[in-house]
Amino acid sequence: MLAKIALGAIALLCVVIATRPAAFRVQRTATIAAPAEVVFAEIGDLHRWERWNPFEQGDPSMRKTFEGSPSGVGSAYHYVSDRTGEGRMTLTEIDPHRRVAVRAEFIKPFAATNQVEFTLRPAANGAVAVTWAMSGRNNFVGKAISLFVGMDRMVGGEFEKGLAQLKRVSEAEAQRNDSRRVAVAG
């Protein structure tokens, strides 16, 4: 009798998981008091990601291999990490000072390919509103994980940390640029 109940519960759980939506989108936005070109320089150059990207920070085991130029369509890096697994990031679309699109291929621990997008919009007082978004489709395992954890909870907090770091780095760079302009003009 208990075996039948357990089997029924497992079957019901499988049906619930299978009927969950596959598509997901996670996004966060922050306003950065720096010109769009300064922020864009951080996002559009994969070599700079370690300065602000929380998925790369604090992971001494991460090994990266860059391909192509540091920035521009086709620029890519492959990473292997004890903490985040293995994957590849490739810049797929660039609209200078407005948008960077990235193909995020996750190899381990779970295979998936998602689309990451950074959009920059003008904000008040010369600032820029930066949105970091990731969208994709979950397979059955991804749906099961999202039933208990949720993609937003898994990734959203990291996006918030990354945008806070991007804000710190970009605003400091904008101040350095302003200081240089004043020194040259003076």
Q: What pLDDT is stored for residue 4 in this prediction?
A: 76
- Starting from the edge strand earliest in sequence, which strands make up the sheet with 76-81, in order? 23-32, 128-137, 112-122, 99-108, 85-95, 76-81, 63-67
> 146 vs 73, which has greater pLDDT?
73
Q: What does the pLDDT look like over 107-124, one tens digit per residue?
A: 998 888 999 999 999 999
Q: What does the pLDDT look like over 60-75, one tens digit per residue?
A: 889 999 999 878 899 9
